[in-house]
A and B are shown apart, each in its own frame.
Chain A
Amino acid sequence: MSFLADNFPLLRDAFLTTLSLAVVSGICALVIGTLLTAMRVSPVAPLRGAATFYVEIFRNTPLTVVFFFLAFGIVEIDLQFPTRFITAVAALALYTAAFVSEALRSGINSVPPGQAEAARALGLDFRQTLGTIVLPQAFRTVVPPLGNVWIALAKNTSIAAGFAVTELTAALQRLTNENANQLLLVFLAIVVAYLVITLPSAWLIGVIERRTAILR
């Protein structure tokens, strides 16, 4: 077990990097994804088209390819992110936003049309209907799917290892090289670190889901 003690600083920093990658890009993805969703249900056709196009492209592109382009492609249009951590956040956020939007859209579709019709009958306009009637209910039904998107995002941060961010998977690769005789222990340590993020999240989602559940 001595290798755990020897490499504690590395493991701790890697864990914190993974966590901050997931949190920061998660928040960004939520913001972008919500905007995309609003565009997708808006009355302006070009907005709908643009948002749908965005989602379609990202749904059909491997995350690794997104990383590649933000890391090495956009240089060709004279753009560059200041650090590799920010590159990773941008890639994860842009990619995940498409799926946040998917989750929100299915949430909106789950709100019975009668609710929106009633709101419209009361004279609420698009913004009011969406903001006070549909979205508050949609957000509740999308807690589990959104939570799952977050967990998937936390796991997807592992791809940043290929792009010079020393997070948990990068730490794993370094440790497997240096401790070839204790492979199982190295994998165990890293897997536990990921579970520390994913399992409590899953539990929390369950709790929130039960608290906010609405009877229909």
Chain B
Amino acid sequence: MRITRYAALAAAAGLLLAGCASEAGNQAEDAAENTAAVETDVSFDAGTTMARLNEAGAITIGTKFDQPGFGLLNPQTGNPEGFDVEIATLVAAKLGIDAEDITWTETVSANREPFIQNGQVDIVVATYTINDTRKQVVDFAGPYYEAGQDIMVAKGNPDDIAGPDDLAGKTVCSVEGSTPAQNIRTNYPQAQLTTYDVYSKCADDLRNGNVQAVTTDNVILTGLIAGSPDDFELVGETFTKEPYGIGLKLGDTEFRNFINDVLEEAFEDGAWAEAWDKTAGDISGTEAPEPPKVNRY
């Protein structure tokens, strides 16, 4: 029974290692508490999406699971954390739904529209840039934040990249299906674009020197830098506008108006700024910016 012996050995080694507590384990208690006040006494017109969700007392929300500061899955709680998650929880609270009754579904860049269209999720809050192509298949509430494309380089900026025009002839990494990748392809064809499915691989490649820069929305880059402040830095100013909206089913105007009202109220009463401070703002160390203006198109 050699296998049993090996297993026993491995278990012993595991116990030994478990003895020395890991840094990751010690920080487990830091998980952010959710404080959005849940509306208990709300009523909606019969037949609306709001009434249906309120009745069910549950909602399915699509978000990113891999973006620090906006939507990042916490394996210790099994739930995502970040600014997008806070905003979505606010919306759910106004529908009279507890945070525990939210089902979080991962939506990646490639499946957000299909997931909304066929009802696998009720809303999508996932660093989702509002643009005209997407408006043809889904509706957007918001924007609730305006990001912009920026560039991240290795610490010390060894290649002297100050802006997108300096990317010519350089290797730059981004994620397939994202608006920044598309922007590089169309407007800066001289740059050699490498694409992955997630930004963490881009960050690895930048660390290893396989690429000279990583480009995407500034807030996503800030999240990547937060973990490795000694390895990466941001350059220059943002050079695009990426208004983040909440995606919902095309033509559900009542629901869209409702979410817009929720957002405007949150802009007013400080709930929005509070959400920013404990997530994305906590990472970047920046004050909450001026909230954007909701676009009721």
Q: Judge A-B direct contact (beta carbons within 8 Å).
A: yes
Chain A residues engaging chain B, CB cutoff 8 angstroms: 72, 75, 80, 84, 162-164, 166, 170, 173-174, 176-178, 180
Stretch at the interface among B44-52, B122-130, B189-197: B189-197
Residues 100 to 116 of chain B near chain A (Cβ within 8 Å): 109-110, 113-114
Q: Are A162 and B208 in contact (CB under 8 A)?
A: no
B257 in contact (CB, < 8 A) = no
B177 in contact (CB, < 8 A) = yes
- Could you show 20 A-B contacts with beta carbons less than 8 Å apart? A72-B204, A80-B209, A80-B210, A84-B194, A84-B210, A164-B194, A164-B195, A164-B196, A164-B205, A170-B176, A170-B195, A173-B110, A173-B177, A174-B176, A174-B177, A176-B110, A177-B110, A177-B176, A180-B114, A180-B137
B201 in contact (CB, < 8 A) = yes
Residues 144 to 182 of chain B near chain A (Cβ within 8 Å): 173, 176-177, 182
Query: 7 closest Cβ contacts across the A-B interface?
Result: A177-B177, A164-B194, A75-B208, A72-B204, A173-B176, A164-B196, A174-B176
Residues of A within 8 A of B137 (CB): 180
Q: Contacts A80-B208, A80-B210, A177-B177 known; A162 to B197 CB distance under 8 Å? A: yes
Q: Is the interface of B mostly helix, strand, loop or mixed?
A: mixed
Residues of A within 8 A of B210 (CB): 80, 84
With A72-B204, A164-B194, A170-B195 already in contact, 8 other A-B pairs whose C-beta atoms are closer than 8 Å:
A162-B197, A164-B196, A164-B205, A166-B195, A173-B176, A174-B176, A174-B195, A180-B113
Complex CA gap A205/B179 in Å reads 44
Complex CA gap A166/B113 in Å reads 24
Complex CA gap A173/B175 in Å reads 11
Complex CA gap A173/B182 in Å reads 13
How many residues belonging to B are interface residues under a CB distance threshold of 8 Å?
19
Residues of B within 8 A of A170 (CB): 176, 195
Name which residue of chain B comes closest to A87, CB basis: B210
Complex CA gap A164/B210 in Å reads 11
Q: Are A162 and B196 in contact (CB under 8 A)?
A: yes
Residues of B within 8 A of A72 (CB): 201, 204, 208
Complex CA gap A176/B109 in Å reads 11
Interface string of B203-217 (1 = CB under 8 A from A): 011001110000000
Complex CA gap A173/B198 in Å reads 13
Residues of A within 8 A of B196 (CB): 162-164
B112 shortest CB reach to chain A, Å: 10
Residues of A within 8 A of B195 (CB): 164, 166, 170, 174
A175 shortest CB reach to chain B, Å: 10
Residues of A within 8 A of B177 (CB): 173-174, 177
B107 shortest CB reach to chain A, Å: 14
Name which residue of chain A comes closest to B182, CB basis: A178
Residues of B within 8 A of A75 (CB): 208
A133 shortest CB reach to chain B, Å: 38
Complex CA gap A177/B173 in Å reads 18
Q: Contacts A72-B201, A162-B197, A164-B195 known; A177 to B109 CB distance under 8 Å? A: yes
Complex CA gap A183/B165 in Å reads 34
Residues of B within 8 A of A166 (CB): 195
Residues 130 to 145 of chain B near chain A (Cβ within 8 Å): 137
B183 shortest CB reach to chain A, Å: 13
Residues of A within 8 A of B209 (CB): 80
A211 shortest CB reach to chain B, Å: 44
Residues of A within 8 A of B182 (CB): 178
Complex CA gap A105/B209 in Å reads 41
B41 shortest CB reach to chain A, Å: 41
Complex CA gap A162/B196 in Å reads 6
A168 shortest CB reach to chain B, Å: 14
A91 shortest CB reach to chain B, Å: 15
A53 shortest CB reach to chain B, Å: 15
B275 shortest CB reach to chain A, Å: 29
Complex CA gap A163/B201 in Å reads 9
Residues of B within 8 A of A162 (CB): 196-197
Complex CA gap A88/B196 in Å reads 14
Residues of B within 8 A of A176 (CB): 110
